[in-house]
């Protein structure tokens, strides 16, 4: 996991340096921000930040607001730092999507250990994200984006697209699709699949061409060269 980029956000320069030194020593790449507004600007400018260490009490924009803004667009792991040890703060943090919660003062070694653990977990979950031909499927979040823009799919449309992408290049009979997406106990017919494929193609726009029809058999998902 060496070289992964971490954003450290704290209005205390001394605290940022302390955290940065320990992380850099472990091989991480560290970017700093001194307040909430700067943190948001840096986060969206960088694109490839693997984890955010975020202080709660900051000028211009506090940690909660930064977290809310980030969570509208990203599920990047976030560790919150706070001087308060009140339970309601922790509950608020978890409700907003905090991954870990560390109260000041803390041991930098413990912080680095938490960073390691979270990144291992998120790397393990990386297989839950499928990325092909500009289509990105986040299975955990049940979210699909096309060239960065989210599209709305029904539950079955999502399952169908995921099945296609996970079996790209393979000819799939209607029976096989029914068995795997609708489950073997579904007593529908092939028209159900054809209807869903038609809707799915429409929602995928130009990417709908990736779903090829194999006449008399079924479908195949194949990304155009």
- Let me know whether 120 and 170 are in one domain: no
Above 70 in pLDDT, residue 49?
yes
Which of 126, 142, 168 is the last residue before a domain boundary? Answer: 126
Query: What CATH number is attached to the domain comprising 152?
Result: 1.10.10.10
- Let me know whether 15 and 122 are in one domain: yes
Above 80 in pLDDT, residue 37?
yes
Read off the pLDDT of each residue in 37-42 and give the average, rounded to a whole number.
94
- Let me know whether 74 and 167 are in one domain: no
Least confident of 6-20, 34-48, 70-84, 117-131: 117-131
- Let me know whether 105 and 187 are in one domain: no
Which of 99, 126, 153 is the last residue before a domain boundary? Answer: 126
pTM for this predicted structure = 0.56
Which one-letter DSSP state was computed for residue 57?
Answer: S
Query: What CATH number is attached to the domain comprising 73?
Result: 3.40.50.2300
Residue range(s) defining the domain that contains residue 96: 5-126
- Let me know whether 90 and 182 are in one domain: no
Q: How far apart are CA 31 and CA 39, in angstroms?
A: 10
Residues in the chain: 225
- Let me know whether 142 and 200 are in one domain: yes
Please give the torsion angle defined by the CA atoms of residues 75, 35, 113 and 3, in that order, rounded to the nearest 10 degrees: 70
- Let me know whether 122 and 29 are in one domain: yes
Which of 78, 101, 126 is the last residue before a domain boundary? Answer: 126
Above 90 in pLDDT, residue 214?
yes
**Residues 16-29, buried b or exposed e (16+ Cβ, 10 A)?**
beebbebbeebebe
Alpha carbon distances (Å) from 166 to 65, 78, 82, 124, 159: 37, 29, 42, 17, 10
Domain total of the chain: 2
Res 43: pLDDT:
93
- Let me know whether 19 and 75 are in one domain: yes
């Amino acid at each position: 996991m060496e070289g992964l980029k971490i954003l450290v956000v704290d209005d205390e320069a001394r605290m940022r340096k302390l955290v940065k030194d320990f992380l850099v020593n472990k091989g991480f790449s560290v970017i700093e921000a001194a307040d909430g507004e700067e943190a948001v600007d840096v986060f969206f400018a960088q694109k490839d930040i693997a984890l955010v260490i975020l202080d709660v009490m900051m000028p211009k924009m506090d940690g909660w607001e930064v977290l809310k803004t980030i969570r509208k667009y990203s599920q990047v792991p976030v560790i919150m730092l706070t001087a308060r040890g009140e339970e309601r703060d922790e509950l608020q943090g978890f409700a907003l999507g905090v991954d870990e919660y560390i109260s000041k003062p803390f041991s930098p070694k413990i912080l680095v250990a938490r960073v390691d653990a979270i990144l291992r977990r998120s790397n393990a979950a990386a297989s839950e994200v499928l990325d092909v031909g500009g289509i990105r499927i986040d299975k955990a979040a049940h979210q699909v984006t096309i060239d960065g823009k989210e599209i709305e799919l029904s539950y079955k449309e999502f399952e169908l697209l995921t099945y296609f992408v996970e079996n790209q290049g393979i000819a799939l009979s209607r029976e096989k699709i029914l068995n795997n997406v609708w489950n073997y106990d579904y007593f529908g017919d092939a028209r159900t699949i054809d209807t869903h494929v038609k809707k799915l193609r429409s929602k995928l726009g130009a990417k709908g061409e990736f779903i090829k029809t194999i006449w008399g058999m079924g479908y195949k998902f194949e990304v155009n060269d």
